[in-house]
Chain A
Amino acid sequence: MRARTAAAVVVGCAALALTACSPATSADTSAGPGASGSPESGTVTVLAAASLTEPLTALAQQYEQDHPGVTVRLGFGSSTTLAQQIAEGAPADLYASAGEAALDLLPADARGDTTPIARNTVEIATPPDDPGHVASVEDLADPDLDVVLCAQSVPCGAAADEVLHRAGVTPHVVSREVDVKATLTKVTLGEADAALVYHSDVVGAGDAVRGVEVPADDNVVLTYPLVRLADRPEVTAFAGLLTSPAGEQALTAAGFLAP
């Protein structure tokens, strides 16, 4: 009898523990000061590729400061996952994808207004002390190196596979992570000797990783399209900031190439 009670309690806890496991990453910039008197108000929901985390967070904060009535809500993840979530009905006003492949997953009526906001290339990231002595893509062929890539189904994984294919290199891959930030984390934690991520991720990580550039012949360039899914004035205005010279400056400062 006591055993069964204990088991019931444990099952209840199990339910709690399981619901606590949520893989989707999301970030919500703090709500604006909420002061009235500004001509604009409302909420802009942006779902964006994980690689855009730093510049979009900075731009959203700047926008909220300039427009105190507007709240910008940001969600980051793999472009593929986000496009699927939008197709399943996730509320989003703007969607920014790494590369254009994920756009095919959007519902047909959501592909209308698309503007490129940036471009990105693939780069090797290693821990700062470079335990695997990586100086080129060819060095990744060393079977003693633990290499981490993005999953084949997300843009950075497809781009990494293309780079390795062009270079004719087959590395010892130990994990294929769900998005580019998870891939980079394995290097910043020192668990992997090298990862293929975007140039902007290496720039964003600062001293936490060391970047090894991939020559243009082996590299791929991904365009980042911004898809406008709503026509409200605050949405148009925030999209306008992303495509403005100020937005381009923030993106290039974060390591992206101009569109």
Chain B
Amino acid sequence: MSTAGPASARATRRTAGRPALSRAALVVPAVAAVGLVVLPLLGLLLRTDWADLGRHLSAPVVWPAIRLSLLTTVVTVLACFVLGTPLAWLLARADGRLATWLRAVMTVPVVLPPVVGGVALLMAYGRRGLVGRPVLEAFGVSLPFTPSAVVLAQVFVSLPFYVLAVEGAMRAVDARYDAVAATLGASPLRTFTRVALPLAAPGVVSGAALAWARALGEFGATITFAGNFAGRTQTAPLAVYVALQSDPQAALALSIAMLAVSVLVLGLLRGRWMR
């Protein structure tokens, strides 16, 4: 900055005497912060039995868990897109008290402990739940312990992330584009699909990535609401937790696989959309 004012000049003079100390005051906590994140990842990499990784990855617990995790998280992201995008658009263009309340309610799962989310899901969709009991009595269908329950738990925890991210992107779309589209005779639905959605596409992609990452890591709500059964409701994080008791190397191998998938997705998004 060439137009540094007198205030910044004073600041420079005040700290000029002990630059090393003032630098250390910033660098030490920063290094500690990096260490807090990197050390556990390093531990994971160092404790893994790389020579036999292939054998551990073929342990019976691994593949069904990865397949279920990929399947359910993809369905979850699709559900977020189909249900969450219109909501994000309506919230982005609404200013009333209702919108403020809706926004607050939709944010609750972000701060709610996932296990509590799982209990809440049971109270709604369980056999004795608000919706679950009438549905069971009418159709003989019960949700807990099914892959659908896994998806429901993941949607519950990840939809808020998607809606918040996409709403932010859609707010940034100039409202005059809507007005122009409307004067040209476009319906609200057409304005949404042809104007808002394309302009907010980067936000939609990053919202989908956030929702996917949150769904992939989901543990508490899933084990509480959907249970834990290999191939049906045991997602990769559940499999890691259970395998740690019986086959720690398989748990580590599965952890490495999840780490690799996460880094890969993060890398793709950085390169394409999240610059």
Contacts and interface: CB of A to CB of B under 8 A. Distances in A.
A189 B113 contact: no
B122 A17 contact: no
A176 B165 CA distance: 36
Q: Which residue, of A11, A148, A191, has the highest number of chain B Cβ atoms within 10 A?
A: A191
Interface in B154-191: 157, 161, 164-165, 167-169, 171-172
B210 A6 contact: no
Interface residues of A, number: 40
B169 A6 contact: yes
A30 B167 CA distance: 45
A62 interface: no
B165 A6 contact: yes
Interface in B178-221: 200, 202-203, 206-207, 210, 213-214, 217, 219-220
A182 to B, nearest CB: 8
A175 B167 contact: no
Nearest to B233: A175
A123 to B, nearest CB: 21
Interface in A186-200: 186, 189-192
B161 A3 contact: no
Nearest to A149: B229
Nearest to A1: B172
A32 B142 CA distance: 46
Interface residues of B, number: 49
B241 A178 contact: yes
Contacts of A189: 122, 126, 128
Given A11-B210, A16-B111, A191-B145, A152 B229 contact: no
A150 to B, nearest CB: 10
Given A2-B171, A21-B113, A175-B233, A10 B161 contact: yes
Contact of B111 (A7, A13, A148, A152): A13
Given A23-B220, A175-B233, A154 B206 contact: no
A84 interface: yes
B228 interface: yes
A174 interface: yes
Contacts of B243: 153
A193 to B, nearest CB: 9
A196 to B, nearest CB: 15
A154 B245 contact: yes
A175 B113 contact: no
Contact of A190 (B115, B127, B161, B217): B127
Given A2-B168, A2-B171, A21 B213 contact: no
Contacts of B112: 17, 20
Contacts of B217: 18
A21 B171 contact: no
B65 interface: no
Contacts of B227: 148, 174-177, 186
B228 A177 contact: yes
A3 B168 contact: yes
Nearest to B247: A153
A186 to B, nearest CB: 7
Contact of A6 (B164, B220, B229, B230): B164
A182 B164 CA distance: 34
Interface string A165-176: 000000001111
A120 interface: no
A6 to B, nearest CB: 3
Top 8 closest pairs, chain A to chain B, by CB: A6-B168, A175-B227, A153-B246, A3-B169, A174-B145, A153-B245, A3-B203, A21-B220
14 contacts: A2-B172, A5-B168, A6-B168, A9-B164, A10-B110, A10-B165, A17-B114, A21-B113, A146-B145, A174-B229, A175-B226, A176-B228, A178-B228, A178-B242
Interface of A: 1-7, 9-11, 13-14, 16-18, 20-21, 23, 78, 80-81, 84, 146, 148, 151-154, 173-178, 182, 186, 189-192
